[in-house]
Amino acid sequence: MIRAKRAFTLIELLVVVAIIALLMSILMPSLQRVRKQARAVACLSNLKQWSYIWHMYTEDSNGKFNTGATAGSDAANDWPVILMPYYQDRGKLTVCPAATRPMVLPGPFATRAWSWDRQGWANLKEKETIDIGSYGENEWICDRPAAQYWKDRNTIKDPANVPLFFDCAYVDAYPNANSGPPAIEGDTSGLIEWTLVCMNRHSGYVNYLFADMSTRKVGLKELWTLKWNRTFDTSNAWTTAGGVRPEDWPAWMRSFKDY
């Protein structure tokens, strides 16, 4: 006697598809979190490599940092140029894995990578390349005449709290204690320096290399507690010590950790 082969009914197939869809909906958020965590770890790894680069540069310059763009917007003294002899992975080591999107393409501000076109700088000999990246230098670290600049790595007190190199929407930034965060993430209409560094790139955190060459993640509200320059007030109005209230923060930052 030949038995008829049993096949899945339409109802059974739909049930299987529904179960698969349910499992995917449960797993996808976890997978997204794992991917974000992996990018954040890779970003910290990049900054660790930059600690060796900055260490070599400052050792070769007797502890002095670069001057940065000072006289006549002298781009030859900015880090993409002065550090070039110390690294080769341009477009890779300079880019945070969570921020690889060219700024000309629409998308979240924190995922943007800046571009630095050498064509516009008369004092640069090499003009055939465009540097790209998503890290920036603390411009207050530079070797400049004004008293608030750090200038020399060897004279910094508490270097573990002095930002050197970090997640940034441009090649450099110089935040000050008198300004607060952007009302909307990525709002550059006011051209405030905090917009360049205060962005939700790693789920409420950004990654930092400090003047003691240590690396760690930094909470967005913690940015105001760091010693950006010699005269920076770390108990300013945007810190717990300075009396900031939860409602003082813009809506997009209120859920982040307080400092």
Report the predicted TM-score, pTM, of the whole model to 2 decimal places. Answer: 0.84
Assess contact for 127 and 118: CB atoms under 8 A: yes
DSSP calls for 97-139:
TT--EETTS-S-GGGEEEEEEGGG-TT-S--S-EEEESEEEEG
Assess contact for 224 and 235: CB atoms under 8 A: no
Write out pLDDT tens, residues 116-148. Answer: 766 655 656 666 666 689 999 999 999 999 999
The residue among 124 and 245 whose pLDDT is bigger is 245
Q: What is the DSSP letter of 140?
A: G
Total residues found in the chain within this entry: 259
